[in-house]
Structure 1
Amino acid sequence: MQCKRLSQTPDSDLLLPIEVMITPLKKRFQYHFMETKSKLNRLEKPEWYLSQTLVWIRQNETFLSQTIDPLLRSHSSQLVPSKLQLISGLIECLTAKLKHDLPSLVFDDKLFTHTVDEVLVFSRELLDIEPNIYQVFPNCNLMNVFSCEPFFTRIITLEKKKSTEFVELIVSSKSAWNEMCGHEGIDELRICECGDNFVLMLQSITNRCSLFTDNSLKYSFVRLQLDILDDFRLRLIQLIHTSDQSWPHSQQYFAIINTFNYLIVVLNEWKILPFFVQISETYSPNETVFDPIIGLFQHVLNEFILQIKTLFLSEFRDKLQAYQSTKWFCLKSIDNCLSPNASQLLHFISTNLVSLQKSLSNTLFDTILHEMADQINRSLLEDVILKNSFNEFGAKQMDYDISVGLLSVFRLYITRPQLHFATLNEALKLLNLERGTHLLLKDILVDDRNNTDAKVALKEMHISSISPHLALN
């Protein structure tokens, strides 16, 4: 079947000299790429006619800009540059070719995908040649040929299929959870190979949809990205539930948690980009398009952070029992060294903090670290100090264990760890009061029912975290 011939009549948008210049190129395009008998007219080779068009543009752009444009400007400053007119005329050929071929391509996944990819490459190369071409001549955007049905729906369907296959490929890779090495941002976030590849895939979808001019089509791609993100969220949850969740956790467990955090960081950055802001203003005026999925990712991340803290503190309390059972009331001396039970407890804390720091992103580790410090402070106060009696040496020994041992461990990670252990330190301060001061304070605490004098007395001792009732106990 002979395909429809390209129009040889002048285009009303083009100057006659440009149309005269384009006419032989149109004839060559017709002969090589649209004649049925031509060996170059092959559905599986769209790059042939696309690349040839770029060659013609590049071959003529110097002549047009240096010779033709000065002549045009001498007659009128309002005329469109000749290179843009040349491109517009040649794009007519490509548009006609694509519209002719697409019905034969649309149901062949491989050929259709290849054609879309080649048109994307061409469109970006055209922008490199002339950045303003799509503003001056919107019809020069070849991606708009795919905007009608069934072609656009086919693109979305194939994107979804390709992304699903790609996700399975990257999560199944032997190196999926290996940490990437690179610039400072990668090291701080502890980005794994799987997370990095997933974000690159999302970026490629954004790059493809950005070339469409219709906002509704762009939004269709964004909705696709949201579906892909949610599918990936569920896939990661499935993987983490099938991994070893006993303490200490596996590398994969921590890598997945870091991936959740990385995606939250990325999406928070993307949602303020002009492209997504424009989509949000049109289709999601009360929030950005990414806010709901960010909320889902944050919820999952919070759940797993809670799990890490819960398992750590559960084992910590088991280790604490030996320290708690120390006979503080009958110690006969202090040797200015850590007590044996304190050494074991601090070794557990130190070892696990080192492991968490190596496994988690900086922000996640800092969050968990500060919350663990607060929990350890509470446990030592409630389970050791409030449940035991202390003589002079017992009080001094525990004060040494905390001030020299525990605070030194946390000082490696926190500039002022004493802020997290303020209640514990003040309780130890009360335990180590001179006998006379201790008895005087006790009388004030017992007699002052309204706590007014008691609060003043505690404040004079620089004790602010402990209530009079707790101090009396």
Structure 2
Amino acid sequence: MAAPSAEQQNGQSDESDLQSPISIKYEDSETESGEGALPDYVVELIEKEIGVDLKSLKKVSALLEKLTAENKLLEEQVLTVSSSVPLRVSAALSAAEESRVSLEGLLQRERVLSNTLIQHLQGAQPWADSLGRTLEQLDNTEKHMKYLQCLSRIEELSCRQDWVIDRTGFFNLFLSDDLISETSVSRVGLPPTTPLSLPVQIMLLPLSKRFRYHFTGNRQTNSLNKPEWFLTQVLMWMGNSSNFMEEKIQPILDRNGANVNAKVELCRGLLTLAQEKLALDAPRLLYDDSLFCHLVDEILQFERELRTTHSYPSTLPGVLHVLLEEVVLQKWLTVERKMAIEKVDAMLSAEGAWSSQYKDISDMDELKAPDCAETFMTLLLVITDRYRALPCPRAQLRFLALQRELVDDFRIRLTQVMKEESRNPLGSRYCAILNAANYISTVLGDWGDNVFFLQLQQSAVALGEEELLGPLGVTESGRLASLEGSLFEGLLGLLERLRGDMLGRLLEAVMRDVQKKAQPYCRDRWLSLPSQCDQATMSLSSLACPLMLCLRDHLLQLQQMLCLPLFQMGWQDLAERLDLFLYQNVILYNHFNEGGAAQLQFDMTRNLFPLFGHYCKRPENFFKHVKEACVILCLNVGSALLLRDVLRQQPSPTSALNELGVYRLAPCDVLILLNLRASWPGK
């Protein structure tokens, strides 16, 4: 058998190598990494190209050949580059040297040119300074020439301007004044009026100029907080021109058949100036209450003096229309409400709010109104005087609604104070509150019959002011239209209810005290009292003395603390209450013999009735139950028997009772009283 060839031996060796695990090679490489180990990127390349597959080891020879070829190519390139680099470097160095030499030459030329330029500028500077002075002189000369040309042009135009002014100036002034007047009049909502006559317009020109000079712009006389300055000036012009207009101008107008009042015409023209000024100033004062109030007061004073002192016709508008602008009017109402509430708070918290300033003067203190109530009604009266002159009924009705609101607010305050004082209804403060309610009710009742408020009532019905009148039916509207009702009816009803409630509480307190004092008198031994014939003279029962004294003291107290109308109502109501009390608790509660009936009649007719005789002529008319009961109890036996038979037999014994003077008691009540008599035959 032939020996194996070299290739076979190599193949066998390769196979033996292939059969050895690759991991052993890797381990060997790892152990030899410290000494000439392959770089990591070589190991990665081998793993990438060969991997762990034994069959892929056949690629090693191809990979080796490829890498050998690439290595050879790289070596050739390196040799080529290394041979050409020195030539390029030498060429670059020679080029840089040439550039340096050229740059030095350029720098040398630059230094030469710079020196030459500096020398040239130094030599040309005097020429430049001289040229600048020459140009400045030329500029000044040109300005002078233009100024002379402008003067020449102005002089040329001035002649034409003078001619134009002479021809049109007068009419321009008229047109401007008319436009301003019409604008201001339309702004303040004035009714249209006839234009001023031409002579009056001419006379107003200098006054109008003076007015606008002093009261417009930045003049010190144009002050928002001093409206009286321009208003007084207008009034002064009216007064100073009055005689001249009546004596000089009016005859001329009359001779020419002009149906014009010269004085009124001048006032109309001057009023236009005031209206224009007020229309501008009023909106600027809406945010300052004190200045706005001052403006309103001055306008009202001006209007009052205009109508009275200068006899300005009421058919012509004044300056009050300025206040009728919605914004101004609403501000006026707001300020009036605010000021009124503040004053009410101050007057109610004052020390002498519930005392009368006329308490020491009996003739002037019939109503005994406390200071707070009188001051409040004076406040309402002042508000009325302020809006009375307004030419618009709708605006007046808005102020009337404000007054009604203030009255209702004051009534609520009175009610609150009354509740605090209700624990002591006999105190002076409680009575003062009652007097205040009565005083306000009385004044409002008088206002309801006032011509001014009656006219407002007619206007309210005509305009259908639901805010003021409320939802009225046909009957209520008819009553107001026929002047049977009043705009204050609702308030009067509330005040009447308050007054009645307070007076009732007051009388209840009096009656509680009287009833307490009358308890011994109610339990008197009326069956065992001696007859009248057994007594020398009749005298007041000793048990009735506390009752009479208490009643007298309370009547005097009420007379001193209550006003006369309230006291009249009070003592009459007290008499009726006392009449029922005595009838029910003294008469019906007891039986009477002849002496007891006589004593009761004496106490009532000679002592009780005279207590009220100071206030009326026939006080017994307010004690009908007691008076008629005494008549029945004091009848002699025969008359009593006859009356009892009549009451039992006749179906209508009214005539028999009337003959005895009994009108209030019913027949059944009379029978009860007859049964209370102890002096019957057989008893």
TM-score, L = length of structure 1? 0.91
2:629 to 402, 411, 427: 427
Shift of 1:422: 2.7
Letter in 1 for 2:521: Y
2:383 to 185, 205, 227: 205
* Compared CA separation, residues 244 and 471, structure 1 to 2 (3 A): closer
Query: Greater CA deviation, 88-97 or 239-248?
Result: 239-248
Written as runs of structure 1 = structure 2, the 5 A alignment for 1:70-469 is 70-76=251-257, 78-79=259-260, 81-135=261-315, 137-138=316-317, 141-181=318-358, 186-243=364-421, 245-248=423-426, 250-284=427-461, 285-286=477-478, 287=480, 288-332=486-530, 334=535, 335-445=537-647, 447-448=648-649, 450-452=650-652, 454-469=653-668
* Structure 2: distance between partners of 1:460 and 1:267: 47
Q: Is the 8 A contact 1:329 1:391 kept in 2?
A: yes
CA RMSD of aligned residues (A): 2.3
Query: Greater CA deviation, 81-90 or 310-319?
Result: 310-319
Shift of 1:409: 0.4
* Structure 2: distance between partners of 1:430 and 1:383: 17
1:471 to 670, 674, 677: 670
Letter in 2 for 1:171: L
Q: Secondary structure at the match of 1:464?
A: coil
Counterpart of 2:220?
A: 39
Q: Which runs of 5+ in 2 are unaligned?
A: 1-172, 182-193, 462-476, 481-485, 673-683
Q: Is the 8 A contact 1:271 1:289 kept in 2?
A: yes
1:48 to 215, 229, 234: 229
* Structure 1: distance between partners of 2:573 and 2:258: 68
Number of residue pairs matched by the alignment: 460
* Compared CA separation, residues 457 and 77, structure 1 to 2 (3 A): same
Shift of 1:132: 4.2
Counterpart of 1:13?
A: 195
Query: Greater CA deviation, 271-280 or 47-56?
Result: 271-280
* Compared CA separation, residues 124 and 470, structure 1 to 2 (3 A): same
Counterpart of 1:26?
A: 208
* Structure 1: distance between partners of 2:258 and 2:616: 66
* Structure 2: distance between partners of 1:114 and 1:455: 74
Q: Is the 8 A contact 2:352 2:371 kept in 1?
A: yes
Larger RCO of the pair (alpha carbons < 8 Å, separation 6+): 1
Q: Secondary structure at the match of 1:329?
A: coil
Shift of 1:326: 0.8
* Structure 2: distance between partners of 1:193 and 1:117: 25
Letter in 1 for 2:221: L
Shift of 1:222: 0.9
Q: Is the 8 A contact 1:245 1:253 kept in 2?
A: no
Higher Cα radius of gyration:
2
Shift of 1:230: 0.9
* Compared CA separation, residues 399 and 117, structure 1 to 2 (3 A): same
Q: Secondary structure at the match of 1:41?
A: coil
Letter in 2 for 1:170: M
* Structure 2: distance between partners of 1:74 and 1:360: 70
Shift of 1:19: 1.9
Q: Secondary structure at the match of 2:405?
A: helix
Q: Secondary structure at the match of 1:330?
A: coil
Shift of 1:247: 4.3
Counterpart of 2:58?
A: none
Shift of 1:272: 2.9
Q: Secondary structure at the match of 2:617?
A: coil
Letter in 1 for 2:203: M
Deviations 1:155-198 (A, max 9, x none): 11111100100111111121222224299885222222212211
* Structure 2: distance between partners of 1:77 and 1:401: 89
Query: Greater CA deviation, 183-192 or 433-442?
Result: 183-192
* Compared CA separation, residues 385 and 56, structure 1 to 2 (3 A): same
* Compared CA separation, residues 322 and 71, structure 1 to 2 (3 A): farther
Q: Secondary structure at the match of 1:150?
A: helix
Shift of 1:405: 0.3
* Structure 1: distance between partners of 2:605 and 2:306: 68
* Structure 2: distance between partners of 1:70 and 1:362: 62
Q: Is the 8 A contact 1:323 1:341 kept in 2?
A: yes
* Structure 1: distance between partners of 2:200 and 2:620: 79
Q: Secondary structure at the match of 2:365?
A: helix
TM-score, L = length of structure 2? 0.64
Q: Secondary structure at the match of 2:306?
A: helix
Letter in 2 for 1:144: H
Shift of 1:9: 5.0
Shift of 1:357: 1.4
Q: Which runs of 5+ in 1 are unaligned?
A: none
* Compared CA separation, residues 45 and 457, structure 1 to 2 (3 A): closer
Counterpart of 2:61?
A: none
Letter in 2 for 1:472: L
Shift of 1:403: 0.9
Shift of 1:78: 2.8
Moved over 6 A (4+): 182-185
* Structure 1: distance between partners of 2:614 and 2:572: 13
* Compared CA separation, residues 174 and 419, structure 1 to 2 (3 A): same
